[in-house]
Structure 1
C-alpha cells in the first residue's frame, strides 16, 4: 500500500485520538457510554447508534440505565413512551429486560469469549451474544430484529454487523476514544465497523475495492488496514469515520 496514504492516516489517527474529539460539541454515541464505563450500557449505546448523531445521543440521554437492575414491571412502566426510529417502546423494553436477565446469570464478556476463543473469531462471539439476548426474552418485530441483528454464516451479501463491531472496538481497544473494558481479546482479530462514511471514504482512498456494503467488505477493509498496522487495524476506524462525516475527502 502507498506509504503516503499510511502517513496521512497515521497523522489523522493521532489528531483524532484526543478527549476533545468526543464531546458535547463533537457528538458520538460513545460519549454516553464513557459516562458509565459499563459493558451492558455500552451495548445499548452501540445498538442504537444509527441515524442522526444528535438524535442518537438525545435518545440515549433519555434512558434511565438504572432500570437494568429493576423488575420487568418497572422496566415496562418506565419505558412505555420510549421509542427510536424503527424501534417501538416494546422493542426498547425487550432489550432492557433481556440485558437485565443476562446480567443476573452471566456477563456479556464471558458469553462472547466462550464462543470467540474456539477459533479466535469475533463473528462467532457476536452470534453467541445475539442468540443469548433473543433466548432470554423472546420477542420479535421488524424494529427489534434490526436492533439486535441476525445470525448468518454468510459474509457476502449479509449485514456488516457494524454496531456490534463498534461495540467490540469500544470494549477491546484502549486509547482516548475507546474504553478497553474487556481483556484477553486480540485487537488484531477485530473487524472494522463498516458504516456508510467509512465505506465511501475507503472506496475513495483505494482501501477497499469491493463495492457491496456487507460483512465481506468489512473483512476485506480490515485486511487492507492490517498492512498498515497488523496488530491494531481498527485504530484507523474513528479517523476514517470522521474524515467521511466531515467530508474531508
Structure 2
C-alpha cells in the first residue's frame, strides 16, 4: 500500500487504495468489520444493529455481533427480554430494548424516506427515522440513548458527526462489492461520509479536510471535497480513507 503515496493525483491514489482494500475485504477474518456480519443477513434491521454497535475495537465489535441471536427480532417481546448480551456502554436491557424497538417498527426505509423527501436531505431522513424509533419505544437509559443518538437538527457546526448512522446509510444506499444497496429512492450524491477518527486524521493529512473539530460540519466539508472526485458517489472513498488510517499507512 505504500505505493499510493508516490502518486501526484490524489484521486488516483484513493481509487488505487480503494481497489486494494476491496480485494483484501474478501478475507474478512483478516480485517474484521461489522459490515461483514451485516452482509450475511442482508436485512435492514440487522444491518442497523451492526452499525449502531460499531464503536470500539473492531474485533470486539464483530465478536459481540456474532454472539447475538438475530432470529429474536421475529420472536415475542417476552423472549427478547431474556437477552443476556451486553457490550461496553450497553447492558442487557439496552440490547433487548433495541431489539424490541426494531421488532415493533414496520420499515426503517419508509420512515427515513418520509423525512428525506420532505427536507431534501439525509439529515432530514435521519431525524424522521430516529424520531420514529423513539416514539415506538419510550425506553430510555444512558446506554440505549447512546445507541440511537439525539434527534438531528439543521445546524452542522458542533453537532455530532452521526458516524454510525451515516455508515448504515452507506450500506443501505450504495451497492457494490462492499455495500449492500438494500434501499432505493435515496441518491448516492446526498450521502454524508461516516466520519470516524481514522478518516478524520487521514483526511486532514491529505488536505481534504481543514476543520479541526470532529463534528458534522467536518463530515460535510470532507464530503463536499470528495464530490470533486466523484460528484455522484463521493462516499465511495470512505472505505479507502478509513483503511488507510486503520492500517497505519497514513
Which TM-score band (shorter chain)?
Answer: over 0.9
Unpaired runs of 5+ residues, structure 1, are: none
- The TM-score with structure 1 as length reference comes to 0.94
Cα distance in 1 between the residues matched to 2:25 and 2:100: 34
Cα distance in 2 between the residues matched to 1:19 and 1:243: 13
Deviation at 1:152, TM superposition (A): 3.3
Deviations 1:156-175 (A, max 9, x none): 11110000000000001011
Deviations 1:148-199 (A, max 9, x none): 0101323111110000000000001011110111112100000000000000
Between 1:154-163 and 1:218-227, the stretch displaced more is 154-163
Q: CA RMSD in A?
A: 1.3
- SS of 2:81's equivalent? helix
Cα distance in 2 between the residues matched to 1:185 and 1:129: 14
1:56 aligns with 2:46: no
The answer to whether the 8 A contact 2:113-2:125 is kept is yes
Partner in structure 1 of residue 4 of structure 2: none
Deviation at 1:20, TM superposition (A): 3.3
Cα distance in 1 between the residues matched to 2:245 and 2:188: 23
Q: Select the structure with the greater relative contact order (CA < 8 A; seq sep ≥ 6).
A: 1
- The TM-score with structure 2 as length reference comes to 0.94
Unpaired runs of 5+ residues, structure 2, are: 1-6
Partner in structure 1 of residue 131 of structure 2: 131
Partner in structure 1 of residue 43 of structure 2: 38
The answer to whether the 8 A contact 1:19-1:177 is kept is no
Deviation at 1:132, TM superposition (A): 1.0
Residue of structure 2 aligned with 1:98, choices 97, 101, 104? 101
Partner in structure 2 of residue 116 of structure 1: 116
Cα distance in 2 between the residues matched to 1:21 and 1:243: 17
Q: For this pair of structures, how many residues does the alignment match?
A: 243
Cα distance in 2 between the residues matched to 1:21 and 1:235: 17
